[in-house]
């Protein structure tokens, strides 16, 4: 018992069995290779199929398409914590990005398209990516400029997207486009499923502070033809499709941040128990001990908030503005906990914390993307204030 255990009231035997299989997958297929993959800036594509074999691609989807039905937010939380144990956000985000790229297909594609595409993604054979952010901005989603103009049974797509995770590797993009050029704000936006191998798409890789093993790309769409049947939801009602994605995405990002904070704490605690200075272990110095306690305290409060949020996400009567606010609070709290724990862990490891190969070094470089991606901290606060009716 380390004081940081999950609250057993929330977890069933199915949850635990799932977590155990993800744990084994991470230990065998990811952890031994993360340093090599991070330096290489990539990892083998076969990992998607291996991840699919333990159910990581099927969370939240029907069993008709190969998914895990009734997989609630606790599954997402357990998957995020177990995946974080390898200490590489780059591998993690790449493998799990389908959980933001695919829900628009699952919920809003025409049945024949959904039945064709979903099983390929859930089996890890095809990769999906979500393309919303543009060079002119990501926070103000309603201001996107990429245009899709209808010509008979196709849309002709022109514009650019940037910072797109799995942008090079993906087989499918779910792309936010402007279909009514005269409409203001959120109106006039649609979501399209785009074959990533279509003519007219140029993909350029981007270099990053962290998440090295993940592919992040800039995309150019130059007269790309997209069949009208690939519209997701209604034309000009794409903003609803985008918003529908955000709750689970943000909860998942919060759970990931918690997982990485926990990894930093465990690495620092382990080091502090072994390292000797001035004739005693680091952990025997009160200042270091208190740092570890501060990490444990932030982790415990974050974990309790995430579990309460996951519980509420599963209760129909609790859906609404308060829940949206709480999910956004969870993302902000969890990313601050990650920031605090990464900083404290690197400090506790001393020079070793600055060396490539320690988990804390990598996680330290990955903090900011968690605080920015999927809704930056400031945007979350604005959303919370609106949901609370200020």
Ligand X SMILES: Cc1cc2nc3c(=O)[nH]c(=O)nc-3n(C[C@H](O)[C@H](O)[C@H](O)COP(=O)(O)OP(=O)(O)OC[C@H]3O[C@@H](n4cnc5c(N)ncnc54)[C@H](O)[C@@H]3O)c2cc1C
Residue 139 engages ligand X in binding (rule: CB under 6 A):
yes
Q: 316-322: long-range contacts at Cβ-Cβ below 8 A with a sequence spacing of 24 or more?
A: 321/387, 321/388, 321/389, 322/387, 322/388
| Residue 254 Rama label (left phi>0; alpha psi -120 to 50; beta) | alpha
Contacts of 207 (CB under 8 A, 6+ apart): none
Interface segment toward ligand X; rule CB under 6 A; list 48-56, 128-136, 321-329, 330-338:
128-136
Residue 132 within binding range of ligand X, rule CB under 6 A: yes
Tell me if 36 contacts ligand X by CB under 6 A.
no
Of 59 and 213, nearer to ligand X (C-beta) is: 213
The Cα 390–Cα 388 span in angstroms is: 6
- Are 338 and 261 contacting, i.e. CB atoms less than 8 angstroms apart? yes
- Contact status: 133 vs ligand X (CB under 6 A): yes
Number of residues in contact with ligand X, rule: CB under 6 A? 21
Helix (H) or strand (E) holding 155: strand 154-165
CA 77 and chain centroid, separation? 11
Site for ligand X in 152-171 (CB under 6 A): 163-165
Give CA–CA dist 296/205, Å, rounded.
38
Given 29, 82, 134, 249, the catalytic residue: 249
> Judged by CB under 6 A, which stretch of 72-80, 109-117, 276-284, 374-382 contacts ligand X?
374-382
Q: Is 366 a catalytic residue?
A: no
Nearest to 299 by CA among 234, 345, 245: 345
Q: Tell whether residue 373 is a contact of ligand X (CB under 6 A).
A: yes
- Name the segment binding ligand X (CB under 6 A); options: 15-23, 130-138, 190-198, 290-298: 130-138
From the list 113, 186, 228, 379, which residue makes contact with ligand X (rule: CB under 6 A)? 379
369 lies in the site for ligand X, by CB under 6 A: yes
Question: Any contact of residue 130 with ligand X (CB under 6 A)?
Answer: yes
The interface mask with ligand X, positions 188-227, x = CB under 6 A, is --------------------x--x----x-----------
What are the residue numbers of the active site? 249
């Amino acid at each position: 018992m380390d004081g940081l255990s999950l609250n057993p009231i929330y977890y069933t035997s199915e949850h635990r069995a799932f977590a155990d299989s993800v744990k084994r997958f991470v230990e065998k297929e990811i952890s031994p290779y993360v340093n090599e993959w991070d330096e290489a800036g990539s990892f083998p594509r076969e990992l998607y199929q291996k991840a699919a074999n333990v159910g990581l691609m099927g969370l939240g989807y029907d069993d008709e398409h190969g998914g895990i039905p009734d997989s609630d937010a606790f599954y997402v939380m357990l998957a995020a914590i177990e995946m974080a144990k390898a200490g590489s956000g780059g591998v993690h985000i790449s493998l799990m990005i389908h959980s933001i790229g695919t829900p628009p297909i699952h919920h809003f594609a025409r049945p024949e398209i959904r039945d064709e595409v979903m099983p390929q993604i859930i089996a890890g054979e095809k990769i999906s990516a979500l393309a919303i952010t543009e060079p002119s901005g990501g926070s103000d989603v309603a201001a996107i400029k990429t245009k899709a103009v209808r010509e008979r049974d196709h849309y002709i797509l022109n514009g650019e997207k940037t910072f797109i995770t799995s942008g090079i590797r993906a087989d499918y993009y779910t792309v936010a486009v402007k279909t009514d050029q005269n409409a203001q704000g959120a109106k006039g936006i649609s979501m399209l499923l785009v074959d990533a191998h279509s003519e007219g798409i140029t993909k350029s890789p981007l270099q990053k502070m962290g998440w090295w093993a993940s592919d992040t790309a800039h995309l150019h769409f130059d007269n790309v033809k997209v069949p009208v049947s690939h519209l997701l939801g209604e034309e000009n009602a794409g903003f609803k499709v985008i918003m529908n994605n955000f709750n689970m995405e943000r909860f998942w990002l919060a759970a990931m941040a918690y997982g990485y904070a926990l990894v930093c704490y465990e690495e620092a605690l382990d080091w502090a128990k072994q390292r000797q200075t001035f004739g005693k272990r680091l952990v025997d110095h009160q200042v270091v001990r208190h740092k570890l306690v501060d990490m444990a305290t932030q982790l415990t409060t974050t974990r309790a908030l995430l579990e309460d949020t996951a519980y509420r996400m599963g209760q129909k009567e609790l859906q609404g503005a308060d829940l949206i606010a709480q999910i956004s609070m969870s993302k902000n709290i969890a990313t601050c906990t990650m920031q605090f724990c990464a900083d404290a862990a690197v400090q506790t490891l001393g020079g070793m914390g600055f060396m490539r190969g320690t988990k804390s070094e990598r996680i330290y470089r990955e903090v900011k993307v968690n605080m920015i991606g999927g809704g930056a901290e400031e945007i979350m606060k604005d959303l919370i204030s609106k949901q609370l009716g200020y």
